[in-house]
Structure 1
């Protein structure tokens, strides 16, 4: 398990964009299967936006109060190194354009 992808890292990996770290629901029928976490809560499928696994879905505890029981499983296979390099740079560029447009409107 990589804590970086859960947003719990104190290392030097940064979150990408202003998007929530893992709030996006998955739409794949394989990931829509209801599962119960070891703590008794419903597991949720979320999306990692960390630079180490951009846009990679994972399953974990659905507690949104900041408590985490440790349940974690990747839904998507690992990305190739090229994707891990390109996606963060594209998202960063998009964020820069959006910020510039926002400043121009002000």
Structure 2
């Protein structure tokens, strides 16, 4: 596991939960590192993000090592997902910007119409005086 910070967490559903050397119930995690994408492992639940270390050396893989093509496919899917997430974020920002522009245009049109109405009344009033 090259990046201990790259994983997701879930509780073990089995009856035989292992206790780590710290005395805590070990957690089942999923590695999302390039070397072990999608692999399940069991480890100490205590994690220090500053030192990127666990509370103890409790660690074991829960599944078999992947073949090269499996790693390649999973890593490619992870990259594609990140690209799609970035695209969705950019589209959301563009959508928000377009909504603001549309709102500003409506306000501008309403202001323009009210000025025209006000100017029209003044002109009518002026022509009535003449």
Post-superposition shift, 1:62?
A: 0.9
Q: What CA RMSD, in Å, does the superposition of the two structures yield over aligned residues? A: 2.0
The structure with higher relative contact order (CA 8 Å, sep 6+) is 1
> Aligned pair count?
89
Is contact 2:10-2:29 (8 Å) kept?
A: yes
Match of residue 10 from structure 1: none
The TM-score, its normalising length taken from structure 1, stands at: 0.72
Does residue 75 of structure 1 match 2:62? yes
Question: Could you say which residue in structure 2 is the equivalent of 1:13?
Answer: none
Q: Confirm whether residue 63 of structure 1 aligns to residue 57 of structure 2.
A: no
Tell me the residue number matched to 1:24: 9
What 5-or-longer segments of structure 2 have no aligned partner? 94-130
Report the TM-score, using the length of structure 2 for normalisation: 0.60
Name the larger-Rg structure.
Answer: 2
Structure 1: tracts of 5 or more residues without a match: 8-20
CA pair 42-28 structure 1, distance change in 2 beyond 3 A: closer
